[in-house]
Amino acid sequence: MQAVYARSEHGGYRVRPLTPDSGFQVEWPEGHVAYPSARQTIIALVNRTPEPTPNAYDPHMTFDRYFRRGRFGDTAPEVDVFDLFRPAPTPTPTPLAVAAKAPKVTPRPTLTVHAPKIKPAGIDMASRSKEVRKLFYAGFGRKVQRYGYDPEDVLQEVYKGLLVRNDGVCPFDPSKSSFGHYVHMVCGCIVSNYHRRYSRLSRNEVFGVSNRDGEMVDVAEADLFGVDAIQEDNSSLLSSVEALTTHITRAAEEAGYDPALATTCVDYLYEGRRNKEIVEATGTSPSMVSKVLRLVRDAAREWQAMSTMALA
């Protein structure tokens, strides 16, 4: 057997076999050292020391595997180095090959078609109107009666609002919210808008005046010079409230919040409700209500600053 060399990571030292069954000799830089067996030789090479200790690491590898001999050896074919620099021979085309040569075909560009985003269908009022009616009466029936309105009239407005939202930008999407939560939110917005509209009419439409005793009497029977006119003050207040609500709605749209939720929070703030009461009334998470209320207060301060500058 010819001499072999250790792996490069182990120093690449020359290993020469001794007489048959006499072991191997490693040519270390310090000198030649003989080992009685292949196992002792491999342990010394792996640990990179001529005299390994009894506790030295043993890779448990055979002689052929370590030195990559036999079936562990490289099977790459032998290649002449000068063959790498010789030009490849040019084949001589035959008439038959020239005739059979197909024309070069330029591949067409691949067209990728993306499926269009499917818009949610909303709520089918023909089949789910009874569910909407139950949710409305359960959540807002007593409130509407306390305001003095006919619940059926308000329910028709809720139906109308749901149909408008089906064709708008925020139809019902089952992947984003449940049916009950969506209907409750829409009912809250419709009731608030309905109450704001008709309470404004009731405050502005006066069918009589108060006399000196505080009794409501007909205008023809009243002493008008002794009655203070408050309609102009009420009209100015309502105009300011409407302008502030419009500014808050625009700010909510720019911030990415639901404008209807912002309007509902404004109405509840007018009524003097606290954050916890608004969360229970709207059915929205406390974190979302807190964010919307913070936006409402910031928008109100901004509107007040702009109003002050306009009057200055």
* DSSP output for 23-45: -EEEEETTEEEEESSHHHHHHHH
pTM of the full predicted structure? 0.34
pLDDT in the model for residue 63: 84
pLDDT in tens, 186-242: 999 999 889 888 877 666 665 566 666 666 666 555 555 444 555 555 555 566 777
- C-alpha 208/C-alpha 40 separation (Å) is 119
15 burial type by CB count under 10 A (0-12 exposed, 13-18 middle, 19+ buried): buried
Q: How confident is the model at residue 275 (pLDDT cuts 50, 70, 90)?
A: confident
**Domain ranges for the chain:** 4-72, 125-207+228-311
Nearest Cα residue to 44 out of 29, 31, 62, 57: 57
pLDDT at 225: 47
d(CA 253, CA 299): 12
Kindly tell me if the per-residue pLDDT of 90 is higher than 70. no
Is beta strand 31-35 parallel, antiparallel or unpaired with respect to 24-28? Answer: antiparallel
Tokens of 296: 């409402």
DSSP bridge partners of 14: 5
In terms of pLDDT, which residue wins out, 280 or 77? Answer: 280
The stretches of 1-107 forming alpha helices (DSSP H) are 38-47, 63-66, 95-100
Question: What single letter denotes the amino acid at residue 86?
Answer: R
Structure tokens at 232: 């102009």
Q: Is the confidence at residue 94, as pLDDT, over 60?
A: no
- Rounded CA-CA distance 123/174 in Å is 10
Taking the C-alpha atoms of residue 234 and residue 236, their distance in angstroms, rounded to an integer, is 5
Using an 8 Å Cβ cutoff, are 276 and 290 in contact? Answer: no
For residues 159 and 130, what is the distance between their CA atoms, to the nearest angstrom? 11
d(CA 14, CA 41): 11
